[in-house]
Chain A
């Protein structure tokens, strides 16, 4: 093993994200309470729970869209909550990405597909038009959008294409940590399958760490290594995805798993 390999291995053995005692209240009500976990490089963690369980609040706190009341979030050894706003913004443009459920929330609808992807590159300092367009075209290809659609606006795209474009826009800068909020939520089942395959390939090839919020247990089974189950703002169970789904320990998880219709 060379020195670089040793250093890389050491980096893989450190959690990329450590969360301790994270709590967010909305007045007297708990949004999410006392959440703790570690996420390692290359790991995909799913968060499931019904509406109002606190999973989206947790994701927003982690991604810096909401300020938690208590707790600690450490990213690559840095205290995220103590960071200056400018530093945190730079992090969320470069090393983090956020995929919204509704692609309209993550895309600029008035800008061409190529522009949506290129804009992100320019935000991190790319200036050469030719190479920006080349990278954008390459990424559109990776998410299976034909090169001749590069100048079309997202409003002319189907829902599935818009979601793939949002993913390209988010991943083009080579992030290490991706937050996803119901990424397959509004899509037809056949389109979901293609998107899942695409995400799996990207996670594997780019070594991404992902936190994915969903209510779809089939999606987490296929995509997530680990699973966290939330109810009423609390984590009721967490573990290896197939273990939590096949041998659930908590009463709520048992109910959730047994309520899924078999097809």
Chain B
């Protein structure tokens, strides 16, 4: 579902003397349906950069990056929008929402984007929010005032509302207590069981050992860091 070959990335800082920073070279990776691959490597080695490239959030300098048949490195914005809507989900570490929108609607949004009826979308949102132990009295409030852990769980609920065939997870268990960590790990296992291809960053070693089928150290793709 994800096929990356010989991918590279540079940043050019035009306003800081035009410095060119090569951050990735020769990255190759394949993830099949139902498989979960964890990215490892020290902070700054390029784990998030690679993930953002897969999502089409960062441009690529060279190589190819095919997600569910779409070459993200060359696709038009319109093709990437369509890919993100139906196929490619991303749970980032930060919740970014329109202020004052109710939590239940934030979670239901990806389903509404797909044209699902409002009632059905809300029901799915409520199911996930209960599962992730967000108290019902908070559902009608905007998540912008929630605690970090609550925001993260809202973000996870939103990411799992639609059964995306490809999922990117950036530290999904980072600030969660044991009970909610367990819920998130079960959600990941269920997604794998239904055939989702997952690329994730997990600092939590227990979580990594439990859900990842393989680990890939991105240090091998970092210019200047590779042995």
Q: Which of A200, A239, A247 has the most CB of B within 10 A?
A: A247
- A149 contacts chain B at the CB level, 8 A cutoff: no
- A225 contacts chain B at the CB level, 8 A cutoff: yes
A229 to chain B, nearest CB (A): 13
Give per-residue flags for B92-115: 1 if the beta carbon is below 8 A from chain A beta carbons, else 0.
000010111100000000001100
Q: Which of B13, B57, B96, B99 has the most CB of A within 10 A?
A: B99
A/B pair count, beta carbons within 8 Å: 56
- B15 contacts chain A at the CB level, 8 A cutoff: yes
- How many chain B residues touch A (Cβ–Cβ < 8 Å)? 21
Give per-residue flags for A110-143: 1 if the beta carbon is below 8 A from chain B beta carbons, else 0.
0000000000000000000000000000000000
- A188 contacts chain B at the CB level, 8 A cutoff: no
- B203 contacts chain A at the CB level, 8 A cutoff: no
- A96 contacts chain B at the CB level, 8 A cutoff: no
Q: Are B15 and A240 in contact (CB under 8 A)?
A: no
| Neighbour of A250 across the interface among B14, B98, B100, B112, CB < 8 A | B14
- A146 contacts chain B at the CB level, 8 A cutoff: no
- A261 contacts chain B at the CB level, 8 A cutoff: no
Known contacts A246-B58, A247-B57, A247-B58; A258/B15 CB under 8 A:
yes
Chain A residues in 8 Å Cβ range of B59? 239, 243, 247, 249
- B12 contacts chain A at the CB level, 8 A cutoff: yes
- A43 contacts chain B at the CB level, 8 A cutoff: yes
- A98 contacts chain B at the CB level, 8 A cutoff: no
User: Nearest residue in A to B58 (C-beta to C-beta)?
Assistant: A247
User: Nearest residue in A to B52 (C-beta to C-beta)?
Assistant: A246
Q: Which of B56, B78, B96 has the most CB of A within 10 A?
A: B78
Q: Are B98 and A251 in contact (CB under 8 A)?
A: no
A82 to chain B, nearest CB (A): 27
- A88 contacts chain B at the CB level, 8 A cutoff: no
The secondary-structure label for the interface of chain A is helix
Chain A residues in 8 Å Cβ range of B96? 221-222
How far apart sit A239 and B81, CA to CA, in the bound complex (Å)? 11
Give per-residue flags for A32-58: 1 if the beta carbon is below 8 A from chain B beta carbons, else 0.
000000001001000000000000000
Q: Are A243 and B98 in contact (CB under 8 A)?
A: no
**What is the interface of chain B, defined by CB distance below 8 A to chain A?**
11-15, 52, 56-59, 77-78, 80-81, 96, 98-101, 112-113
User: What are 28 A-B pairs with beta-carbon distances under 8 A?
Assistant: A40-B78, A193-B98, A193-B99, A196-B98, A197-B98, A200-B98, A222-B96, A225-B77, A225-B81, A226-B78, A226-B81, A239-B59, A240-B56, A240-B57, A240-B77, A240-B81, A242-B57, A243-B57, A243-B59, A243-B77, A246-B58, A247-B11, A247-B58, A249-B12, A249-B59, A250-B14, A254-B13, A254-B14
| Apart from the given pairs A222-B96, A240-B80, 10 other A-B contacts in the complex at a CB distance below 8 Å | A43-B81, A190-B99, A193-B99, A204-B112, A204-B113, A225-B77, A226-B78, A239-B77, A240-B56, A240-B77
